[in-house]
Amino acid sequence: MKSTVRTLALTAVSLFLVTAGAPWLKSQITNDIRAHVDHSFMIGDKTLPPGDYTFRMMQGTDLSVMSVMDSNGKGIAEFGVRATIDNHRPKHSELVFRRYGNTEFLNKIFEVGSKTGVQLTETSKQEASLVEQGQHAMEHSEEQR
């Protein structure tokens, strides 16, 4: 009897922790992220030139897809994302890039004031090739004001 009660108690506590933590793991990006990027960068296999961009969560995708638009509001790309946690709360929205030589790949996006952001779910073919060649990324973030 004691083992059954213990098992039920552990199951109930585990279920509570999973349920209570689920909203915390959801992406917290609720507003558009406007960014000025002064270098070219890649999202997936698409290279974007320096410029002004708007990143937005796509409606109806359970917070798993973002889009990026240029300064004219033209949709450029859609990409899969998942929630990620950083160790600090940014004072401004941040874009995080991985740099291999002169090539930069968008990796994460954080909204001002939130430790929870999004990370791209797919690695581009070019980045995968660079990793296969033994190259290591230098990760850096750029605050957006």
Q: Which tens digits make up the pLDDT trace of 99-121? A: 999 999 999 999 999 999 999 99
Q: What is the C-alpha to C-alpha distance for residues 17 and 62, in angstroms, rounded to an integer? A: 21
Q: Decide which of 21 and 131 is more confident.
A: 131
Measured at the CA of 93, the angle between CA 19 and CA 137, to 5 degrees, comes to 90
> Closest by alpha carbon to 112, among 132, 92, 128?
92
Q: What pLDDT was estimated at residue 62?
A: 84
What are the structure tokens assigned to 45, written together? Answer: 């296999």
Q: What is the C-alpha to C-alpha distance for residues 38 and 103, in angstroms, rounded to an integer? A: 13
Res 12 pLDDT > 60: no
Each residue of 52-100: pLDDT tens digit?
999 999 988 888 999 999 999 999 999 999 999 988 888 899 999 999 9
Q: What pLDDT was estimated at residue 16?
A: 45
| Percent of the chain residues topping a pLDDT of 70 | 80
Neighbours of 9 (CB within 10 A): 10
Q: What pLDDT was estimated at residue 143?
A: 83
Q: pTM of the predicted model, to two decimals?
A: 0.78
Q: What is the C-alpha to C-alpha distance for residues 65 and 113, in angstroms, rounded to an integer? A: 21
Q: How far apart are the first and last CA of the chain?
A: 61
Q: What pLDDT was estimated at residue 49?
A: 96
Q: What pLDDT was estimated at residue 13?
A: 43
Q: What pLDDT was estimated at residue 2?
A: 56
